[in-house]
Structure 1
Amino acid sequence: MRLHFIRHTRPDIARGVCYGQSDIPLAASFAEEAEDVRARLTERLEGRTPTRIYSSPLSRCRRLSEALGYEAPILDARLLELNFGEWELQRFDEITDPRLQLWYDDYLHVAPTGGESFTEQAARVADFIEELRDELAQNEDSSACEVLVFTHGGVLLSAGLWAGWYPLEEAFSHQSPYGAICTLEL
């Protein structure tokens, strides 16, 4: 079984704005970026047809799924980006919350006010992967399964962490660019 985690394309938002689970638009270059993702995904699939398609509920992920011809993905909230709680849609340099420094000091374990920590996000992504692996192993020939997952950068990091590609402390040095495809073989 192969799980292809596909990060959404570039959003249309100013740098330095905390947008995690906010539903924001995509950049004007979306069509070009989506075609680039299509070409790389087609190569990665090697002629195989995806068995299942999943997406974060946010429009920036669903829109990419739809642009690639997958118009009815299964939406799963475990595929959402990190929840920044009260910091959503604020510029990091304008956040006055005293917890911000605590988060900067330990963003792996400290949650933004009203949000979640990276370790909490990683746990929900691990839950998604393990549940899917177990379900497909029981119901289908899992060795032939190709699963597409349209999602966010933090989810790609969490999937790599689950796969053991790097330790927790090094996760953020492995951030993927917009439109990246991360494939796990289970």
Structure 2
Amino acid sequence: MAVYLIRHTAPAIEKGICYGQADIGVLDTFEAEAAIISRHLPQHITRIHSSPLQRCRRLADHLFPELTIVNEPRLKEIHCGEWELQHWDAIPKEVIDPWMNDFVNVQIPGGESYVQMHERVVNCFNQLAAQEGTVVLVTHGGVIRSILSHITQTPLQNSFGVFAIHYGCVIKLEKHNGVFTYESLSNIPTGKEQHKPSAK
């Protein structure tokens, strides 16, 4: 069996804005980015699961117009709670510093910690990957890093440094003798993203 992980295309949001489960749209480069993704997809797909957020669901609908797509809430990005759509630099130091010091375990106010997201994502991945056939997951950067950390036993605190996950990437997972390996089929750099205050 194989699992294809696809990250959504470039979002329509100003650089430096914190977003996770905010339901933002995509840039007008969407179709060009989707065309690159489509070149790396298999012929025969058994199942397609997508984060219900529009930047993922629009891509899933575009890539697979003839197939049934299942919305899977567990494939959503990390919930940024009170920080959603705030500028990273506007979040008070006393509020963000505990998270900056331990972004894996400290819960974002009103949202999730990285480890909480990881637990729901791994639960979802194990359930979907246990079934036969080729499955496609259209999702987010944090979700893909979480899955890759899981299958490679990479500590979550190292996941941003180890896994460069760009918009529109396609990563193929294959299982051999009970162990998953991964291959990056397309992962074109799209510029540096900002996931913390600029001074940090």
TM-score (norm 1): 0.88
Alpha-carbon distance in 2 for matches of 1:180, 1:165: 21
Aligned-pair CA distance for 1:5: 1.0
Aligned residues: 173
- 8 A Cα contact 1:54 1:148, kept in partner: yes
- 8 A Cα contact 2:52 2:73, kept in partner: yes
Runs of 4+ residues over 2 Å off in structure 1: 69-72, 96-99, 165-169
Instruction: State the partner residue of 2:54.
Output: 59
Which structure has more RCO (C-alpha within 8 Å, separation ≥ 6)? Answer: 1
Aligned-pair CA distance for 1:28: 1.0
Alpha-carbon distance in 1 for matches of 2:64, 2:126: 26
Partner residue of 1:154 out of 142, 165, 169: 142
- 8 A Cα contact 2:3 2:129, kept in partner: no
Alpha-carbon distance in 1 for matches of 2:99, 2:30: 32
Deviations along 1:26-71, one digit per CA (max 9) or x if unpaired, are 0110010010111122xxx2x3x11000000100001001111246
Gaps spanning 5+ residues in structure 1: where? 137-141
Structure in which a larger fraction of residues adopt helix: 1
Instruction: State the partner residue of 1:36.
Output: 36
Structure 1 vs Structure 2 CA RMSD: 1.4
Partner residue of 1:179 out of 165, 168, 176: 168
Alpha-carbon distance in 2 for matches of 1:117, 1:31: 33
- 8 A Cα contact 1:56 1:80, kept in partner: yes
Aligned-pair CA distance for 1:119: 1.0
Instruction: State the partner residue of 2:78.
Output: 82
Aligned-pair CA distance for 1:97: 6.8
Aligned-pair CA distance for 1:83: 0.5
- 8 A Cα contact 1:163 1:184, kept in partner: no
Instruction: State the partner residue of 1:128.
Output: 124
Which amino acid letter does the alignment assign opposite residue 69 of structure 1?
F
Gaps spanning 5+ residues in structure 2: where? 176-200
Alpha-carbon distance in 2 for matches of 1:105, 1:111: 12
Alpha-carbon distance in 2 for matches of 1:95, 1:170: 24
SS at match of 1:4: strand
